[in-house]
Structures are given as structure tokens and as C-alpha cells.
Amino acid sequence: MKNSLSILFLFLSLSSFGQISEQKIFNGSTYQITYPIEWKLDESGRNRTEFYLFHSPTVGKFGNNINLMIQNLEGMNLNLDSYTELSQRQIETNGKLLSTVRKSKNGLEFHEIIFESNYNSIEIRYLQQYYLKNSKAYILTFTAIKNEYDNIVPKAKEIFETFILN
């Protein structure tokens, strides 16, 4: 019996190890992010993004994704509190704010929000992190169809953890 349990444990360990996915690193001029090779990188700059990482095929014209936008805040006199407040007011005009929390990573404070809205009659849920550094706002966003969000958000959070500002 003891040998059977050892063999079962070894088998489960090896099968778990086999599920570790290969990673790619994307370096922007002021940031870095690591992502699984299964996610497709789009650096086209469409919709004023730095990049998109697409998780799955599109539904109509929508694909679950992670994206990064950078806004120049030069001369706007915004800190993380005022930027977050402004963003939340904009979200609440057409969406529903679900959570809002201040966090810290690698000594840098950021704000994380989760909200929902409709996009072309599709219910969408967003996980968004705001970082402010050197008069710029870095808005890292995971966007998913609401009923697919819970299945994909754990992997999206793993990717978010790799985001580094230089």
C-alpha cells in the first residue's frame, strides 16, 4: 500500500510538472512583463495600447486579454489617490464598481479595481491596476467576458505579478 501511494504521488507530481507552461518576456521601454507562450502578443498599438496579450479566440469582435496603456500626466498634478478617484468616477458612469483596494509590490504602491460594464451587448468584467511613476500612469487591465472571467483570472493575476516598472 505504501509503495502504491508513493507511485501515485510520483505520478501526480510529474503530471503537475508537465503542466508548467513556457514563458516569454516582453520588454517595453519602461516596463517588463512575462507571459505564457499560449497567450498571443499584439504590439500594434491599436486603441492606444502598449500591447495586448490575447488569451483565447475572439467572440464576435471581442477577445479576453491583458493590455497596458500609458498616460502622460505631466502638469496634471495627480497622485495615486486623485487618479484613482477620477478613474472610478469615469467607470461609474457606464459600469459597476465591484472592488477597490490599495496594494504594494516591489516597494511601489498601486491601486487595483474590479468592475463590470457592457461592450457591444457583451457583459465584460475588468481587473485593473494603476501605477504612477515619473509623471505617467500605467494602466494594466485584464478584460474578459463575464462568464469566462473566473476561469481565466488566476492566470491573469500570475501575469500581473510579473509586471515590473523600470
| 16-74 per-position pLDDT tens digit | 444 557 999 999 999 999 999 999 999 999 999 999 999 866 556 678 999 999 999 99
The pTM of this model reads 0.85
What does the CA dihedral 68, 27, 110, 154 come to, rounded to 10 degrees? 70
Domains within the chain, CATH numbers bracketed: 22-165 (3.40.1000.10)
Asked if 116 and 124 count as a contact pair (C-beta separation under 8 A), the reply is yes
Cell 464598481 sits at which residue?
97
Count of CA atoms in the C-beta half-sphere (13 A) of 57: 2
| 109-134 per-position pLDDT tens digit | 999 999 999 988 999 999 999 999 99
